[in-house]
Structure 1
Amino acid sequence: MSTPPTGASRSRPSIGRSLTVVLGAGVLGYGVLLLAPEPSDTLWRVGIWLAAGVVVHDVVIAGLSILLGAVVLRLPRPVRAPVAVGLVLGAVVAAVSLPAWGRFGAKADNPTLLDVDYRLGAILTVVILVLGVAVSASWRLRRAHRATADGGPAADPRAGREAGEWD
């Protein structure tokens, strides 16, 4: 009798996964209970909104992620990680700042809501992010170039390091 290979799938799910499924089903059930008394036109609008979210994610966000991933793979190896991190952080800044840019939730009778120039803050954050990516990428390129110019063992900037540390 042989033992299964390391990392083989188990026949029963873990306790954490089971608890997550139960919690998710409970939250879903609670949402259904909240929607049950609503009129049918509201239910249709909620259904369209949920379906549109799936389509936007699968077509727009996933499509852009695949495209940007292909572009990042064409960059020199030392530059890939800083650019990828910059793209992810830029997406987070956009997701967080877009509602404020659109002034969603602003009320004429309460001028203290959204009373800051959020566009300027988001633009400055992205500028600082781009500068950080540029500094990190140039430092890594210089280091990789120096390692190969010195005749060291590092034609690959990962030489002598654990796999995945640079990528």
Structure 2
Amino acid sequence: MRSFIVSDVVEDFDPLFYRPCIFPILSGYSYGTAITVNNGLRTGPYATDFQLSLSFFDNSGKHVVTTDVLHELTPGDIVKIDTRDVLKKLKITPRGNMLGIAHMVPTRFAGKELVTVTRGELMAHVSSSDDFIEFRQEPKGVITGVAYQMGPQNDDRFNKTRTTLLQAPKAIVTPTVDTL
């Protein structure tokens, strides 16, 4: 039986996954995807400024692009991003479905490949996250989405079990109603 020891300090951690928001782009089903992410820790020892960039992967898992910094979020800030607009600016036409990752990286880690962090700091940001993934089928005006919190999933330095909290809070069918 393998013993599992979790250290409070995590070394050689990729800061792109410090506070990720991972989402599908359902172009293959004629849905556009928008994400709403926040810098939920307004105060306290772990409150920090974030730089937000996006990565996109095609339906086969191949990395397509990682953007430069799109937004800077101070503690308490919230931003909504329509991925269709971002992909259009990048001159990328989705063919089928894609995977997107919003990378929220503390400004102190900008440009660093690997960093040392504490589990407590990472989990404070995960537990304060309140991301919303919105799917729009236009021109029909169907809007639906899911809210969730998710920490690092593929790194056993954090926990024995992997958990994701999901909520499907609404389905909106009028084009004038928005989620932000």
Provide TM-score, normalisation by structure 1.
Answer: 0.18
Question: Which has the greater radius of gyration?
Answer: 1
Q: Which structure has the highest helix share of the two?
A: 1
Which structure is higher in strand share? 2
Q: RCO higher in 1 or 2 (8 Å CA, sep ≥ 6)? A: 2
**TM-score of the two chains, using structure 2 as the length reference:** 0.17
